[in-house]
A and B are shown apart, each in its own frame.
Chain A
Amino acid sequence: MKLSEIKHCFQGVTPAGIATCDADGTPNMALLSQVYYLDEKHVALSCQFFNKTRRNVDQNPYASVRLWDPVNLQPYLMQLRFLRAETSGPVFDDMSSRIDAIARVTGMAGIFKLLSADVYEVLSLSVLEGALQPAPATPLPWAVDPRQAGREELRGLQMLSDRLCRARTLEALYAELLASMASLFGAEHALLLLHEETCGKLIAIDSRGYDRVGAGAEVKVGEGLIGTVAHSRKPLRLSGMAAMRRYTHAVRESALKSGLALAAEIPLPGLADAQAQLALPLVAHDQLIGVLALESRDPLAFEDWHEAYLALLANQAALAIAMLSEREEDDEAEPTAPEPAPLPARRRVFTWFTGDESVFVDGEYLIRNVPARILWKLLREHATGRREFSNRELRMDENLGLPPVKDNLESRLILLRKRLQERCPDVRLVSVKRGRFVLERDSEIELIEKP
């Protein structure tokens, strides 16, 4: 049988067992967290601790690895021969970034890290006949004709491509992208973050499938799965998260007993019980635009080919975002209707904190940095009787601190709208024409400045 036929066993959902033998003939049995498929004749095993397994294969290169099908627990046996330990290069980098991401989402950074990618030749692969009683007639998920599945996905890709090309505004583009993840690709939980180059962070702009949109949430480049993807600009997929959490938790307990200091365990973003995550970098014109992060409760939701075709659509989305972000065609102002009176007995207190440039509404944090400065300008001018504003005038206002090129103004306004929707729906920024919007409010607005 071919190694590629059991690629789904390489996703870390069930750990593998490895038997080795030292030069004196004493066998050793250990668990492995990750087995990586390299090609039909080679696998790489993660070496995270210089342990007995590694010492044994340095003396005697043969190893015997037991893998299990993550769905039906069919066991497989691989007989291997150790070839080399790689500490740099593409295989090491790929394995290392996955392990770093696992470590970061489980609070194991610095402890759970790759020492080497140990490359083995696969001498034989066998299926353990008789381990399971005969299967019921239900086909396994991957027993679908892959050509047929591929066609369906290609159709999905084409539909998404059409939708992205038709989006006239960034807000529509973001909404189409996220909605399509669920309707076309079955990814119910999706989060879109944009790169904020000035502060080395990714800012969540919109999401689908979560309790709250989470607009404005920040992730540092290089931190966690999303930050790692932003840093490496390569897609990253984590499967079998529950199994990984159990495994890293065991390592954590063991590390604590060894007296090693650990950072507090950081909870996973999004679904607390995510079983699989896939993060895709959005890159256009060699610039990082953002990251699209998908989560699922199905441990095998994302496979190799998902990574490939979703990466393709991420590229297309990135180009579309870049193009729409650069467009600057504000319509001319026209007289706007007089503002309706606020609803009786409604009052919202906005507070501007000069020190950290943030805006609070009714004592709760709303937004900070550039979008906060924009909001404060709008609210102050609204207090003098203005109602309609243009993107162009915001770009001209040096006090807002927008970068001279690639200012992401439209995305910042979308973020501001989403935050207002979540925290203060009484105040809204409503687009009226291209590049123009009005500030609507249902309540009286009080403005306070504090140091």
Chain B
Amino acid sequence: MGQVDIAEFLKRGLCVLVATRDASLSPLCVTASACALAGPGRAVVYLPAYEGAPALANLRANAAIAVLVEEPTTHRGIQLKGRSLAIREATPTELAHVAEFVARTKAELAEIGFAPTVLERMNFTPCTAVEFSVEHVFEQTPGPGAGRAIEARP
């Protein structure tokens, strides 16, 4: 991916992982329900309530965030890095988008063999929206090119 169309990529069935860290630089990995663009150089990630609290505490304290979005069937992935700008409840419109995103994620997971009964049990809501600045974008498909900075197509 020399150049990537993030908006196009985010239309696929994706899993979202978020890294934050505390004051002692101890990192924390949490899953997110969905990720979307929120204007030029800005994106939003939705953290489910069951595990969002420690990550939100980290973000309130230091704002540093890294978001990995990857397609489970191909492991194609990109990483967005920046700083959180706003933490707020997801709006009803956003929750509808989250539901669509989650449906695509589940379809993707079904494709790699997870049964509907397993996927039905996964909780993605309620969730909190975290808006963040997209300062860097990296290729994250596993392999020798992982971690290479890429240009986001406007």
Residues of A within 8 A of B (CB): 15, 17-21, 23, 25-31, 33, 49, 51-52, 60, 62-66, 71-73, 75, 77, 79, 111, 128-136, 242-243, 246-247, 249-255, 257-258, 260, 299
Of all A-B residue pairs in the complex, the 8 with the closest CB atoms, nearest first, are: A254-B143, A130-B50, A19-B19, A250-B75, A19-B29, A27-B19, A251-B143, A29-B68
Residues of B within 8 A of A (CB): 17-21, 25-31, 48-51, 62, 64-68, 70, 72-77, 79, 81, 109, 112-114, 117-123, 138-147
- Beyond known contacts A27-B27, A250-B74: 8 more, CB 8 A cutoff: A19-B66, A25-B62, A27-B20, A27-B21, A66-B17, A130-B51, A131-B50, A136-B117
A21 touches B27 (CB 8 A): yes
A62 touches B25 (CB 8 A): yes
- Expressed in whole angstroms, the Cα–Cα distance for A111 and B143 within the complex equals 9
Contact of B147 among A23, A33, A52 (CB under 8 A): A52
Say what secondary structure dominates the interface of chain A. mixed
B27 touches A250 (CB 8 A): no
Residues in B with CB closer than 8 Å to A246 are: 72-75, 112
- Expressed in whole angstroms, the Cα–Cα distance for A21 and B62 within the complex equals 13
- Expressed in whole angstroms, the Cα–Cα distance for A135 and B109 within the complex equals 19
- Closest A residue to B21 by beta carbon equals A21
Contact of A242 among B25, B28, B70, B112 (CB under 8 A): B112
A31 touches B143 (CB 8 A): no
Residue pairs across A and B with Cβ atoms less than 8 A apart, 26 shown, are A19-B17, A21-B25, A25-B21, A29-B17, A29-B19, A29-B68, A29-B140, A31-B75, A49-B146, A52-B147, A62-B25, A64-B26, A64-B29, A66-B17, A72-B118, A79-B26, A131-B31, A131-B51, A132-B121, A246-B73, A250-B142, A251-B142, A253-B141, A253-B143, A254-B143, A254-B144
A73 touches B114 (CB 8 A): yes
Given contacts A15-B75, A31-B70, contact A20 B19 (CB under 8 A): yes
A247 touches B117 (CB 8 A): no
B144 touches A258 (CB 8 A): yes
A134 CB, nearest partner CB in chain B, Å: 8
